[in-house]
Amino acid sequence: MREYKELYIGGRWMAPATDRRIEVVSPHSEQPVGRTPEASTEDVDRAVDAARQAFDGGEWSRTPPEERLAAVQRFADAYNARQAELAELLTTEMGSPLWFSQVGQVGATSMALADFLTAGQNVAWEERRPGSFGADVVVRREPAGVVGIITPWNVPHFVTLAKLVPALIAGCTVVLKPPPEAPLSALALAEILDEAGLPEGVVSVLPAGREVGEHLVTHPGVDKIAFTGSTAAGRRIASLCGQDLRRVTLELGGKSAAIILDDADLGQTVQNLQMASLLNSGQACIAQTRILASRRRYDEVVDGLAAMVGGLTVGDPMDASNYIGPLVAKRQQDRVRDYIGLGESEGARVVVGGGGMPDGLDTGWYVRPTVFADVDNDMRIAREEIFGPVLAVIPYDDEDDAVRIANDSEYGLAGSVWTSDVDHGLDVARRVRTGTLGINQYLMNFTAPFGGFKASGIGREFGPEGIEAYTELKSIALPLG
């Protein structure tokens, strides 16, 4: 049982304003595994005041970039030293399979930290350009100010540091509101931030629910909001930020299409789709859950996916041999099961999986990994983000039809093309309206911008663009001759 009694406010451990607590329950055993304070709006006010003072009157925003990078390097070193512990904590807290906590959560976070540190060394913080009237202009990138960060539960460290680290490199101060489903791992991050020795006021960590998050979004002391979560919540946040013209970055939902061309190596494709489509038990916005196969090879693709999914081990996420773990909460289990029932009622055919608990399990928030065939792209299971291990196999007539179906979605976050002709696959990828794609794989690249088209978000993370998102541009015209 892991318990925290204080919140991390302005770089100090402090008693919360109320006695409300978050009880953390294991998605596998359904038993309590931890407890933390639940932050209140009063705690947000204290944190924003500290961040505002640190930004306006402190030294952090004016600290040379190389010193800010050195502080982030200290954080990265401390984070890397605790990787094994952090992976187990994430699995305990939100049910992520241990293999994914090790590789796709903590391991990916460590890689992203290294890439941000490299990118931060190459940002042009100030440059001098020839002006229109004969005198030079100085163009500066300055920190955006106080940043409110709101993160989801599915990959909490990875998503948090995709925002926190570039904000710190840019010279911003931060108030982080992690979700109530993952408060233990959030306060473990606060311990590491404390060890890194950031100046007072620069970072606060306040686990809480939506009401407190909305208070942070609308707080007059906040200059920018960075959010990852559902499209519905993103729309709400965008509308609130729009009222005050507050800067906002939104990384939202997805319903990504994997286009399998007829010349693809089907065995290799199915093997790689196991990761691309079912990572983190399907609880990933980038998951390739619409599988597009030509009518000529449709049955072959369905059979291959059914064999792969049907062979996955499901169970205790602490057992590294289990590929699929539980979903994060009972409500998520109910949601995914409802979608499986909906797919059947819409006329799709369950090839493997379906409703009910996986064999051998009688507790935990599990669902059976499921493959639907005979899916039309107008069905809700093909249009709405399910956020669980459910795949929909959709037939297409020809390549143009495949691109049309892939683009026939309100989302545009990720996607993939599977082919033996990489150059041709690249041509097809250029026609798909999504922010990121892969050829014969889908892996996020932390040196390149990540984000979505359409309802999948606003703005970009990672790469130099991810740091620049936390800056404002200033132009200073020098005197005329």
What is the set of active-site residues? 251, 285
Name the residue among 359, 312, 357, 351 with its Cα closest to residue 337.
357
What kind and span of H or E run contains 370? strand 368-373
Q: Which two tokens stand for residue 158?
A: 């990875």
CA distance 241 to 248: 7
**Contact (Cβ atoms closer than 8 angstroms) between residue 108 and residue 462:** no
**Contact (Cβ atoms closer than 8 angstroms) between residue 469 and residue 166:** yes
Whole-number Cα distances in Å, 194 to 48, 116, 159, 191, 221: 18, 20, 19, 5, 23
State the number of CA atoms in the 13 A half-sphere of 3 facing the CB.
Answer: 5
Other beta carbons within 10 angstroms of residue 414's beta carbon come to 27
Q: Which two tokens stand for residue 200?
A: 């007072």
Phi, psi of 406 (to 5 degrees): -60, -40
Question: ∠ CA(30), CA(228), CA(466), 5° rounding?
Answer: 135
What kind and span of H or E run contains 299? helix 298-310
Phi, psi of 154 (to 5 degrees): -75, -45
Q: Which two tokens stand for residue 399?
A: 């390549």
